[in-house]
Structure 1
C-alpha cells in the first residue's frame, strides 16, 4: 500500500483508494477524533467529493465506515472543498473530502477536517499510526456502500452567500468574464457568484470527463485555449479552479494566467492584512511590498495554517495565508464594508478571484495593467511528470551532499550565491536570479520554480532548470 499524506491530504492511486484502504483511513480518522474528544458518539461528519470517476465509491465507503463507529455521515455531494469546510465549521462537524485536487484521474485523495478546521501534521501522524494498528482488522477494512442525509443544497447556499458579500453590488458590471468549467466542482457556483456582481458570464469548456487542471503549472494547451477564448469573445478575464475548487485560476484579457502568489498579494491589500503566511516558493517580492509582515513556511497548507495559528497566538490580527498555487486561507475574521467574512483556514479559490477582479475594476485597470502595477520579479514554475520518487530523492541527496556538488550541477546556469533549504533547495545566483528545485509532495513529479528580472530571462532559466532535472539519473 503506497498511499500517504502529502502537502494536503492523503494521496494514492485510485485503484488503491477504492475499497478497503479508504475504509481503513476513514476508520482511523474517526477513531482519532473520538479518542481526542473532538467528536462524540452521534457527532456529524460532513462528506464531499469531486467529479473523479472513483470519488463516489470512495465517498460511499467512507460514509459506511464512520457510521460503524457511531458517527452520523452527512452527504454534501459534489462541492468545493472550502464549501465543505465552511459548512462543517458552521454546524460543528468534522469533514472528509474525497479529491485528488489537480492530479490526474488515475489518482485520488482524501482530505480530513476537524470541527475547527484542517487536520495538522500531528493529526496526520496519529491517523497514520492508527491505520497501521488497524490494518489487520476486518471491521476497519470492511467495504460497504454507505450513505447519509443529503445537505448539498445547504452547503452550496452557505458558501455562495458568503461570497456574495465580498464586493459591492454591480461592481463588475460591464465586465465580460469566461468561466472555464471543465470538471471543477466549483463550475456552477462561479457562474452564480460573478453574474451576481453584474458581469456578463460565458461558461466555457464544460466536460463530463475529468480534466486535471494545475493552477500552479498551467499546461501550454490550456494557455492556448484561454487565449483563444479571450480573443474570440473579447473577454476581460477567464476564471477557473482545480478539480476540488480550492485553487484559483485567473487569466487576464489575453488569456495569460496570473501567478497565484500575485493573487495572494492583491488579496492581502484588498483585505488590509497585517500578517501573511506563505511558503518559500512564493514570489520573493512579497517582502518588498511593505504593507504586511511575511512568515515563510514549507510547502503545504498544514504548514501555512500552523504559521497563521502562531501569529494569532502571539496577538496578531488580520492574518491570512496563501500558497503559490493561489489557494487563500483566512486565519482571522475580516470586515469588508458592512460585511463580516469569517475566518476559513483552508484553501479557497473564490475570495482571491473576487479580490483581483474587484481591485482591477475599482482602479479602472485591465488585469494585465494591474499585474504591471505591482512590478514583482517575473516568477515562473513548471514540473516534470512521472519523475519517480526514488529519482527525485537521489537528486536532492546529491545536491545537499556538498556545496561543490550543487555548484557543479548548476554551473551551466550560473554561480551560486545563497541557498535556502526550507522545502527543496532555493538558490539565489550571483546575478540575482532564483531557481528552486522541489519534489512534489502529492505525486511523482519534480517541480522547478524560477525568478528573474524579465519574462524572457525567467523563461530561459525555467527551460534550463527543467533540462537539468531531466538529465539526472540515479
Structure 2
C-alpha cells in the first residue's frame, strides 16, 4: 500500500469544516470530489485495504455513501457496505474486524447538512489522527491499496443487538412497557429489537419518512409535550429514542419527562460499578458529588478529549460520557453476561442501564433519578448564527473583564470562571452558566446549572434571550 500526491488541484474555499466530529457542512458544498479527497486522506492516514461504510437516513446520505464506496474501490480497497445503521453498531463491527470505517451522518443537525465521521480500526479518531487526515487532505494525496477493490454488503445490526441481549439477559426488562420514539432515528428498528429481546413490551411512536433533526441535549417544547401525552395515552414506563445517527440517547420517565444525558451518564456509571469517570466540563456537577466515583476527570467537549483522558484514568473500571448522554465503556462489565468495552459514543447502554437499575430496585425511573445528589441542569441552543459574530462575542466575554461583568450582572455575582471549553461562569449563589460556540454546526450553546430544576430552566431561558439579543 502506498500514498501518492495528487497532481494539481486547488483547495476548495467553500469546503465544509473538518474537526472533532469529522467532516460537516451543507449538502450543497459536499461535492463528490471533496468527498473523494477526504476518503483518500483518511485511507492514507489508516493504511487499510478494507473499509466499512454506514449511513443515517438523511436524503443525501445514500449518494454520499456511494461516492465513498466507489472512491475506495477505485483505490483498490475492499468495501463492506453496512447500509443504514447506528454509528455505534458500525463501529462495533468495524472494530471487531480490525478495519477503519466511515459513517455518513450529520448527527442531530438539519437535513440540509451532512458529514463524514471517521473511525480507526480500534475506535474513534484522536486529535493527532484528525491532524494527520487534514494534512493528507491539504496535500491532496492519493491512496493505492493492495486489495481487489471488491464491494459487499454486511448486516452489522445483529452483533450489536446480541451485545446487549446477551449481556443483560432475556428478562432484564420484563414487565416494562416502553415507547420507542422512532422519528427518523437510524436505530429505530435496532432499539425495538433490543428491548423486545430483553423482555419489554414496546409501543412504536411517530415513525417519520422525513428526516427530523432531534437534538437529545436540547429537546424542543413541542416534542416534550408529545412525550408527556404519549406516556399518559399508552400508560408507558418510559420512552426511548436517539438522535439521527444513534450515538446520543434520549430517555423519559413514566410521565414523559426527559432525563438529561449527563444524568443518564451518572446512572449508567453507577450501575456498571465504574471507579473512574471522564466527562466534559459542561456536564452536571453531580458526577463530582457522587462518592462511588473515586477519580473524576473533566475535559473539553468532544469525544476525542474524553477518550484521551480515559487512557490516563486511575482505575481500570473507567467510563466516559458526554452531556448529550453518549456513553463510552472502557472496561468489560460483568452483568448477566459480560459486556465488552466499546470506547465510542453509544446510545443503547445509557438507556438500558437506568431502566434495568430501576427495575432491579423495584423503583421507577423518576425515583432513581430523585435519589441522586440534588443538582439540576438545563440547556438550549441559538441556531443559524453568524459564527464569526458569535465567536467575537465569546472572545470579548473571555478576554474583557468589563464585557464579562456587564453581560453576567443580571444573573448574579461572579465567583470564578473556567475557560476549558468556551466560558463557564460560577456564581456566588452556586448557579452556573456555560456559553460556547458549537464546533460542528452554526449554533451557540447555552448551559445552566442551579439547585432546583425550575431555577435551572429559568436561568437558561434568561441567558438564551440575552445571547440572542447580541449575536442575532
TM-score normalised by length of structure 2: 0.93
Q: Distance in 2 between matches of 1:80 and 1:473?
A: 35
Cross-structure match for 2:443 = 445
Distance 1:263 1:147, change over 3 A: farther
Q: CA deviation at 1:147?
A: 8.0
Q: Distance in 1 between matches of 2:175 and 2:292?
A: 31
Q: Distance in 2 between matches of 1:147 and 1:361?
A: 47
Cross-structure match for 1:9 = 22
Cross-structure match for 1:326 = 325
Q: CA deviation at 1:18?
A: 4.1
Q: Distance in 1 between matches of 2:36 and 2:270?
A: 43
Cross-structure match for 2:104 = 98
SS of the residue corresponding to residue 354 of structure 2 reads helix
Q: CA deviation at 1:412?
A: 1.5
CA contact (8 A) 1:170 1:198 kept: yes
Cross-structure match for 2:68 = 62
| Residues 437-446 or 66-75, more deviating | 66-75
SS of the residue corresponding to residue 387 of structure 1 reads coil
Q: Distance in 2 between matches of 1:2 and 1:424?
A: 25
Q: CA deviation at 1:473?
A: 4.3
Does structure 1 residue 369 correspond to structure 2 residue 372? no
Q: Distance in 2 between matches of 1:18 and 1:50?
A: 18
Cross-structure match for 2:179 = 178
Q: Tell me the number of residue pairs that the alignment of Structure 1 and Structure 2 aligns.
A: 453
Cross-structure match for 1:304 = 306
Q: CA deviation at 1:431?
A: 0.6
Q: Distance in 2 between matches of 1:147 and 1:440?
A: 38
Query: For residues 144-176 of structure 1, what are the alpha-carbon distances to aligned partners after superposition, in whole Å with 9 as ceiling and x for unaligned?
Result: xx9820002xx1111010010232332322211
Q: Distance in 2 between matches of 1:181 and 1:402?
A: 46
Q: CA deviation at 1:9?
A: 1.8
**Selected match of 1:461 from 441, 459, 462:** 459
Q: CA deviation at 1:59?
A: 0.5
Q: Distance in 2 between matches of 1:168 and 1:31?
A: 42
Q: Distance in 1 between matches of 2:28 and 2:407?
A: 38
Cross-structure match for 1:203 = 204
Cross-structure match for 1:143 = none
Does structure 1 residue 151 correspond to structure 2 residue 154? yes
Query: For residues 168-227 of structure 1, what are the alpha-carbon distances to aligned partners after superposition, in whole Å with 9 as ceiling and x for unaligned?
Result: 332322211100011111101111111122211001111111111101001111111111
Query: For residues 59-92 of structure 1, what are the alpha-carbon distances to aligned partners after superposition, in whole Å with 9 as ceiling and x for unaligned?
Result: 1111111222221111000011001111011111
Q: Distance in 2 between matches of 1:473 and 1:373?
A: 39
Q: Distance in 1 between matches of 2:163 and 2:279?
A: 24
Q: Distance in 2 between matches of 1:344 and 1:33?
A: 20
Does structure 1 residue 385 correspond to structure 2 residue 386? no
SS of the residue corresponding to residue 30 of structure 2 reads helix
SS of the residue corresponding to residue 166 of structure 2 reads coil
Q: CA deviation at 1:427?
A: 0.6
CA contact (8 A) 2:329 2:344 kept: yes
Does structure 1 residue 414 correspond to structure 2 residue 412? yes
Q: Distance in 2 between matches of 1:33 and 1:473?
A: 40
The alignment yields a C-alpha RMSD, in angstroms, of: 1.5
CA contact (8 A) 1:166 1:354 kept: no
Q: Aligned runs of 1:214-293 on 2, under 5 Å?
A: 214-292=215-293, 293=295
TM-score normalised by length of structure 1: 0.93
Q: Distance in 2 between matches of 1:67 and 1:31?
A: 14
Q: Distance in 1 between matches of 2:471 and 2:367?
A: 43
**Selected match of 1:47 from 37, 41, 53:** 53
Distance 1:376 1:10, change over 3 A: farther
Distance 1:213 1:356, change over 3 A: same
SS of the residue corresponding to residue 247 of structure 2 reads coil
Stretches of structure 2 that go unaligned for 5 or more consecutive residues are 1-13, 144-148
SS of the residue corresponding to residue 43 of structure 2 reads helix
SS of the residue corresponding to residue 379 of structure 1 reads strand
CA contact (8 A) 1:166 1:351 kept: no
